[in-house]
Amino acid sequence: MMVELGDVVRGRRRELNLTQEELADLAQVAERTIRAIESGKRTVRLDKAVQVLGAIGLELTVQVHVPEAIR
């Protein structure tokens, strides 16, 4: 199941009753970073996304699958 990061961040921010500005302050990022994440922009820096997730009590986990052909 693929979930869009922006949808997760927006949903959690709303659960916490935070504005985009409040979340930006909490995560110590620019408000435009929150807007970019929530709108699905693909150019958001990974470290900034991790900061935002941490500020709302979430973490990013990456799973790498190595195909049999290159093992």
Distances (CA, A) of 36 to 1, 4, 6, 32, 68: 22, 13, 8, 6, 36
At 63 the pLDDT is 86
pLDDT in tens, 56-71: 999 998 888 888 888 7
Q: Spell out the domains of the chain, with CATH numbers in brackets.
A: 5-70 (1.10.260.40)
pTM: 0.85
pLDDT in tens, 5-40: 999 999 999 999 999 999 999 999 999 999 999 999
